[in-house]
Structure 1
C-alpha cells in the first residue's frame, strides 16, 4: 500500500464551518474586531460565506455540530458560554435549503450523530435535502463524544466508545436498506393518464430488526440523485479506522504530520481493500488553517495580529470538552488521566506511550499557531506550494479550510491562494457542477459504487453500480 509521495493533480478544497460563534481555527478569535461570527443567527452572514466559497470554486461547505455544551472546564458551563466555545450550537440542517438556493452549485456536508438520531427520520431528512439540491449533499457521520449530549438525550452518560461504533454500524445498515433498497430506480412513473405515480411492487418495506433498531420501512422519499449522501467520517482510532474502511468515502483528518497521515491512510485503505472496496475510493481531507499575505512580512503581521486576540482559556475549555477531562483541576506537572470516554487521542503523546501533562497541553496551545495543527503561513505562492507538497507527501486528496477569522480567512484564500493553486494546476477555480459524489469521484458516478457495503442492499439485490 505504500507509495512514493506525489502531488495530487487537483486538490479537493472545502470550507469547515459551524453554526456557532466560537468556531474556527481557535475558539476565542470571535473577539477579533474583524470577525463576524457574532452574526451566527443572521442568514445574510451565511449567504456571504456560501457565495464566496462557491465563486472560489470550493467543493463544499462542511457544517460541524455538537449536541451539548462544553461544560467540563471548572465543572461548569459558565466558561463555555462566556467564551462561546462551540456555542450557541444552532441546527446546521436548517441553514442548508436557504444557502443552497443562493449558492446553486456549492455542495453541503451536514454533521449528524448515529448515537442520538434515528436512522428512519435521518434518512428521510438527507434524502429530502438531496432532492432539493440536485444531489449536493454529504453526511459527516459522527458517534458524538460529549457527556452533556448524552444527558440532553436522557442518558446518565455516554455509551462506551466501542458501543457507539457498534450502534453506528447498525445505523448505517438501516440507512442503506432504506435509501438503496426500498425503492426501485424506476419506481416513479408519474403517469397522470393512468393514473399511476409509482409502479405497484416497486416500493417495499425493509423489515429490519437488529440489536439497536427495528424499522419496518419503506423510506418515505423516492430515490434521490445520490440515494445515499456522500459519507464523511473522522475516526482515527483502530475502531474508527475500521468504521471508515467500511463506510467512509471521505476521511477527515485533524492531523498535520505527513508521515503519520500517510501511515494511517495506508492502514485504512488496506482495511477497505480487505472488505472488497477499491482503496482509492477512500479519499481524505486534512483540516488546514491558512494565513496568507501578499508578502511574507504581511502574512507574519496577520499572524501576530491574530495572536493579540487569541484566548488560551477558550482553547482549554474546548480541550476539556473534547477529552472529558477538566484540565483546570490539574497542576502543570500532573499527567492527565487516560480513562476517558472522550477523544483519547488528544490525551497521549505522539508516540502514544505516555499521557500528556496539563503543562504540555498549555504549552501546545500557547500560540494561535498551536503545535500539532496544520498551518500554512506565507505568500500565495508559498502557501500553494506547501499545500501541494504536503498533500503529496501525506497521500491526501485535499483540505478543509478552517477559518481563523470570518470572513477574512475565506476572503484571503479566495483572492490570493486560489489563483496561486490554479497557476500550479493544483486546483480548478471554476464553480463545481453535478452531484457531490460525482465531483469527488474520477468516474463521475452519482451513486455508491458496486463494491460499497451499502450497494448489496439495492432494490432486487442488484450488485450493479448506480
Structure 2
C-alpha cells in the first residue's frame, strides 16, 4: 500500500440497549453488558476503554421514535429493545468528556424536528465544555413514529434536505456571523463581558424558520461543530458536497465507495470547497480471534443469542416496508418510500422476494462484511486492501458484544494494524477539526458555507 497513514477510528454507539447495527438482540448474550446502558457507569467505562484503545471518536447514533413498521406496530421492537430506550445522547456527552481527555464525541441530531436556535445553543455549549471535541452528525429523520411524536407527517425524502439546507443556513449565521471573534471581552478590570457593537442579530426569515438572534453563546473553539453526514442517496450526496467534513459512507463495495466519494469531492470543488478537507469512514462489524476455529466458535455463540425478527424490525423501519405482509415466495413490490433507500426501494436494484430478505436476516452477520471476520492478520490485511481500493480514511466500529468487541479490536487487531502503519500516531491534542484538516485549523475556512457567513 502506498502513502500508508494512520486511519481514523470511531466507536459507533447508541444510547440504548438494543443497538441496531447488527447486534440488536445480542444484549441477551452472557458476556454483553448493554443492559447496563441505563446507568452512567456503563458509559463512563466504555468511553474510557475507547480512549485507552486510542480511538479518535465516540459516535452516538439516535432515533426519535419506535420501529413500528414490521407487523404494523412496535411489538417486536419493544420485546427485543430495538434501539430502545431512545435516550438523548447529548446528555451523556458532558459526563463522558469530564472523564476523558483526548477522544472526541459525535452526536446525531435531526434537522427535521429540532429548532436551529436551540440546536445552536446546545452545540456551542458542548463545544465549550469539551474544548472543541464535539461533532454533529446531521440527519433528516425518516421514522413515521418519530414524526407523529412531534405532531407531524413524514416529510418527503428530498424535502427533508431542503429543510436541512435552511436549518444549516440559520445555525451557520448563529455560530459564525452573530459574534465577532473579539466580541467576548471577559474582563474584570474593564467590567465588561462583551462588546455590544460586535454582537449582531441574524434576523433570518425563510420558508421553514424565523430566527432573530443574536446567538446567546460567544464563539466556541470550533465555532461550528465538526460536521458529519451519512446520506448516500443522490440528494444526500449533494448535501454532503455542500456541507460535510466527514462522510459516514452508506455502502460496502470499495469501488462504489471510491466512485461515490470522487463524485462528492468533485461536486464540492464545483461549489468552491477544498475537496481535500472531506474525509470518509465506513462501518465495520469485526469478529476477531487468534484462530479460525475460535472465530467460528464466536459466531456460533452470537448466532445462538440472535433473533432474526428483531433485526428485521430494525430493517423494516429503515426501509419503510412491512416484510411481515409478504409470503416468502412473494416479490417485494418496488416502492419509493420516505425512509432510507435500500435494495427494496431503489429502482436500480434487482428484485427480491420476502424469502430473500428473511434469509439474509437469518444470520447474525447480516450486516457484516466477511473481510472483517477472521484472525487479526487476515483482517488487518483485508483492511489495508479495502482502504486502498475504496479511498476511505477510517472506520466506525460496531460492536457485537459490548465491550468485548472493542476489547478484541484493541488487543488483537490494533497491534497488527500498527505494524502496517494504519493505527496510532494520529494527532491527539486540540480540537477535532484541527486533527482532521490538512491545515490544522480549528475553524472552517471561507470556502465552506459556514465560514463564508463569518464577517
Q: Which residue of 2 aligns with 1:52?
A: 49
1:179 pairs with 2:178: no
1:244 positional shift: 0.4
Larger CA deviation: 311-320 vs 362-371: 362-371
Aligned to 2:289: 293
Partner of 2:253: 257
1:169 and 2:165 matched: yes
Pairing 1:43-122 to 2, within 5 Å after superposition: 43-122=40-119
State the 1:420 CA deviation.
1.4
Deviation at 1:282, TM superposition (A): 1.3
C-alpha displacement at 1:297, in angstroms? 2.2
Q: Distance in 2 between matches of 1:194 and 1:283?
A: 44
TM-score (norm 2): 0.96
Other-structure match for 2:328 = 332
| Range moving further from structure 2, 25-34 or 231-240 | 25-34
| Structure 1 residue 241 corresponds to structure 2 residue 223 | no
Tell me, yes or no, if the aligned pair for 1:11 and 1:397 is still in contact at 8 Å.
Answer: yes
2:17–2:27 Cα contact (<8 Å) kept? yes
Q: Check 1:274–1:354 CA distance in 2 against 1; reply closer, same or farther (3 A cut).
A: same
Selected match of 1:137 from 128, 134, 156: 134
Matched position secondary structure for 2:138: strand
Listed as ranges, the gaps of 5+ residues in structure 1 are: 461-466
Which shifted more, 384-393 or 48-57?
Answer: 384-393
Asked if 1 retains the 8 angstrom alpha-carbon contact of 2:281 and 2:393, the reply is yes
Partner of 1:342: 339
**What corresponds to 1:447 in structure 2?**
443
| Residue among 210, 228, 243 paired with 1:232 | 228
Deviations 1:403-459 (A, max 9, x none): 11101100111111112111111111678221111112222111012211111110x
Could you say which residue in structure 2 is the equivalent of 1:464? Answer: none
Post-superposition offset of 1:222? 0.5
Q: Specify the SS of the correspondent of 1:104.
A: coil
Q: In structure 2, what is the Cα distance between the partners aligned to 1:180 and 1:317?
A: 41
Q: How does 1:28-47 map to 2 (within 5 A)?
A: 28-47=25-44
Q: 1:437 aligns with which of 433, 439, 455?
A: 433
Aligned partners of 2:198, 2:301: CA distance in 1, in Å?
61
Q: Is 2:153 the counterpart of 1:153?
A: no
Q: CA deviation at 1:30?
A: 1.3
SS in 1 for 2:107: strand
Deviations 1:55-83 (A, max 9, x none): 11100100000000001111111111101
* Counterpart Cα distance in 2 of 1:353 and 1:79: 28
In the alignment, which residue of structure 2 is the partner of 1:214?
210
Distance 2:309 2:175 in 1: 44
Q: Which residue of 2 aligns with 1:267?
A: 263
Give the Cα separation in 1 of the matches to 2:27 and 2:215.
41
In terms of mean alpha carbon deviation, does 326-335 or 370-379 score higher?
Answer: 370-379
TM-aligned CA deviation for residue 334 of structure 1: 2.1
Measure the CA separation in 2 of the matches of 1:90 and 1:51.
20
**Pair 1:16-2:15 in alignment:** no
Give the distance between the partners of 1:371 and 1:91, measured in 2 at CA. 25
User: Would you say the 8 A contact 1:272–1:278 is kept in 2?
Assistant: yes
Contact 2:343–2:349 (8 Å) recurs in 1: no
Q: Distance in 1 between matches of 2:404 and 2:102?
A: 22
Question: Residue 296 of structure 1: CA displacement?
Answer: 2.5
> 1:396 aligns to what?
392
TM-score normalised by the chain length of structure 1:
0.94
Instruction: Output the CA distance in 2 between the equivalents of 1:356 and 1:127.
Output: 46
Which one is further off, 318-327 or 14-23? Answer: 318-327
Alpha-carbon spacing, 1:429–1:44, altered in 2? closer, same or farther (3 Å): farther
**Structure 1 residue 345: deviation in Å?**
2.5
